Chain A
Amino acid sequence: MNLGAMVWLALEGLLRKKGRNTLTMSGVFIGVFALTLIVSLGQGLSRAVTETVSGTDNLRQVGLTGGFGIELSNDPAEIEISGEMNDARRDRLRRAAVNRRQIRQVAGRRANAIDDKTIAQLSKLPHIESIQPVIVERYEMKLNGHQSPATLSYGVDVGRKRYADRVIAGSYFSGDNAPEAIVHEYLLYKWGMLNDGDYARVIGQKVRLKTIQTELTPEQQAPPMLQDMLRDLTEEERKAMQTLLPKLLKQFGQSNERRAAEREFTVVGVLREQIPGDPFNVIEDGNAVQADLFLPQETARELFLASAVNVELGYPRALVTVTDSEFAPEVEQTLRDKGYTAFSVASALKQIESVLLMITVSISFLTGIALIVSTLGIVNTMITSVIERTREIGIFKAVGATNAQVMTVFLCESALIGLIGGLLGLGLAALAMLPGDMLAVQLINEKAAIPFDQPVFVLPLWLMIAGPALGTGTAIAAAILPARRAARIDPVKALRHD
């Protein structure tokens, strides 16, 4: 069979009713347009997320936070309640046991502190390349007559080039334990150094950092569940509590006795804020986004450990680097099993990707409704066309067309509606992606802390084919019944039809 000739007959039929067929086509057009846009958004977002975090060492890192004694089971089923009793009472007692444990856990000190000893132990776990404490701490800061009561400082692994790249005045650290500091441009701005030239005045100056010493009242130090109780005390009870509570807290490992530490460093540089396009390390840099002062890692650690309470409680967080990104989720789970709170970008990424896929698929289904509605239009148009062309079908058959050929003509007619609509939908979707990308990047950068400059719409080749193919397929499916009807028309009756 010469399909070209059938297609041509179909096209000729289409062109006869341009208005009607354009309207019918617009259904497919809108369906394919929306579907293409949504699927490419899903593709783009998923790729953007991956691209944004797959640079640097994001996928090899696991963030580690001390746990709160999660090794105690909170599963009521695992708690043994002995004695002869009915199930309801046993359930209640289990519940009570769990609740009491939870209180003890929160009130108690961290069950899994992160200190040099535990770091050394954890480093022996398989697939772990290194574990580095994250030093984030607030200090009283004095610089050049300026003073700030609680500046957030961050210990920089000096090997990290991305910090060196952000130094806009002065120089980078000379070593991991150099007595040097780098100041963030925002702090200088807050201190009134409005002009670019002002930076030169801080380079080479001495900065003094001092452990913050606040005398907390017992109420301020008490764990949350005790606060209510403290509020309801009589004046006498309160006085008694004032003396009793610090002792109790000390028993639990909390203490307001702090040994002050004080150091002096030389300011060597000014660090600029992150901008879109900067490499960003979610776990590492996530700790540093609010920092105003940067110290070399070892320098920061020495200062941190100069405070007794810090030695006792350990580091707030640590950064685990695994040998290969594929082990990140496994290591994350191992650490959790040991009672730590762990987070890895690699497994978060997997979750984000599956959520994105779910969203894309479900919105695509909704958009698919547009295509389904368009099939109704196509069915209607094709039935009308078959009726209008009844006599012609008689002629086709008289000159030797088989039923299959008649059917093909009408299927081609519908396929053309679908194909043209689909191609137009694809084309417009591709056009819409340009401003769409710009708008999306702008919106994301307004809201997100992570600098972002990835395209959010991605149009892979398979989608370029699948969009119009889906439009065409839908249109063909919609035309099957009308085309069958055309094929079965009795030629004798058709030739007398007017």
Chain B
Amino acid sequence: MSLVAAKDVWREYARGGIAALAGVSLDVAPGEFVALLGRSGSGKSTLLNLLGGLDRPSRGSILVDGRDLATMNARELSLYRRGVCGFIFQSFNLVPTLPAWENVALPLVFRGEARTARKTKALAMLDKVGLASRVNNRPTQLSGGEQQRVAIARALIGQPRMLLCDEPTGNLDSATSSQIMQLLRDAHSAGAALVMVTHDPELATQYAQRTVRMADGKLQEAA
């Protein structure tokens, strides 16, 4: 049983324009670590967004627990993201005006958790990613690596079954990168499935169980 199964997925941004995804089929098993490789513009981010329910395919189906993301309404997609996914972006995407712990606790706000519970959980997560001393710092007061660690803590706080990482180390130097990758590996060991977009083949072979190559919106599955 796969966690997410994309079948012949197409995504055309403009009607009649070129397809960012042209018939992609990809299964992600529970707890699996998949690396998505490919040149810029090959459709990696597009696929990732579809798997995470941030976007809907033009054609094809994406099955999760027997339900098709393609036919879900906006509310159902939100609840899917809330319950299943954690996102990590290249540009961190933290709320600049909120301190680290409140950024981490943000998913819990929309789950309706009380402030004290949010804070306790956020502080525990920040401790896990080694930022116990930076809980009250705003993103601008943190380095790139620290910001990405806050983002990882935020992605993990909801205990997602799948982490979707779009070039998580793309903005970081190699030493910081390996710290981040270590945290992602820990999350994977704890049981989460991971789909990571990267254009660094070395990272892919070093961490992923399976590497998938993309070109022109199509998959070229490799070993």
A-to-B contact residues, CB < 8 Å: 1-2, 4-6, 8-9, 12, 16, 391-392, 394-405, 490-492, 495
Contacts and interface: CB of A to CB of B under 8 A. Distances in A.
Contacts of A5: 109-110, 112-113, 115, 118
Contact of A12 (B49, B82, B97, B110): B97
Nearest to A399: B107
Contact of B98 (A1, A12, A400, A404): A12
Contacts of B94: 395
B33 interface: no
Contacts of A491: 54-55
Given A12-B97, A495-B89, A398 B110 contact: no
Q: In the complex, which of the residues A1, A392, A490 has the most CB atoms of chain B within 10 Å of its own CB atom?
A: A392
Chain A's interface: helix, strand, loop or mixed, by majority?
A: helix
Contacts of A391: 93
B10 interface: no
A220 to B, nearest CB: 90
A2 B87 CA distance: 23
Nearest to B114: A2
B74 A398 contact: no
Nearest to B108: A5
Nearest to B76: A402
Q: In the complex, which of the residues A16, A395, A399, A402 has the most CB atoms of chain B within 10 Å of its own CB atom?
A: A399
A492 B110 contact: no
B110 A400 contact: yes
A463 B162 CA distance: 54
A5 B52 CA distance: 25
B75 A404 contact: yes
A5 B106 CA distance: 10
Given A6-B109, A8-B109, 9 more contacts: A2-B112, A2-B113, A398-B93, A399-B106, A399-B107, A399-B110, A400-B158, A402-B79, A495-B93
Interface residues of B, number: 30
B18 interface: no
Contacts, number: 78
A396 B97 contact: no
Contacts of A396: 106, 110
A495 B118 CA distance: 24
B95 interface: yes
B81 interface: yes
Contact of B54 (A392, A397, A405): A397
Interface in B87-145: 87, 89, 93-95, 97-98, 106-107, 109-115, 118
Nearest to A391: B93
B44 interface: no
A398 B87 contact: yes
A-B interface, 3 closest residue pairs, ranked by CB to CB distance from nearest: A400-B82, A2-B112, A399-B107
A399 B54 CA distance: 10
Given A2-B113, A12-B97, A397 B55 contact: no
B36 to A, nearest CB: 16
Interface of B: 49, 52, 54-55, 74-75, 78-79, 81-83, 87, 89, 93-95, 97-98, 106-107, 109-115, 118, 154, 158
Given A397-B81, A399-B154, A401-B78, A16 B54 contact: no
Given A12-B98, A391-B93, A492-B49, A397 B112 contact: no
A1 B107 CA distance: 13
30 contacts: A2-B109, A5-B109, A5-B112, A5-B118, A8-B109, A9-B109, A12-B97, A392-B95, A395-B93, A395-B106, A397-B78, A398-B52, A399-B81, A399-B87, A399-B107, A399-B158, A400-B107, A400-B158, A402-B74, A402-B75, A402-B79, A404-B75, A405-B78, A490-B55, A491-B54, A491-B55, A492-B49, A492-B54, A492-B55, A495-B54
Contact of A394 (B79, B93, B118): B93
Nearest to A400: B82
B88 to A, nearest CB: 10
Contacts of A4: 114-115
Contacts of B111: 2, 400
A395 B95 contact: yes
B9 to A, nearest CB: 15
Contacts of B154: 399
Contact of B79 (A1, A2, A400): A400
Contacts of B93: 391, 394-395, 398, 495
Nearest to B52: A398
B136 to A, nearest CB: 14
A166 B199 CA distance: 103
Nearest to B73: A403
B49 A402 contact: no
Q: In the complex, which of the residues B75, B78, B83 has the most CB atoms of chain A within 10 Å of its own CB atom?
A: B78
A9 B112 CA distance: 12
A406 to B, nearest CB: 9
A405 B112 CA distance: 10
Given A392-B95, A398-B93, A495-B89, A403 B78 contact: yes
Nearest to A395: B93
A495 B112 CA distance: 23
Given A395-B106, A492-B49, A492-B55, A403 B75 contact: yes
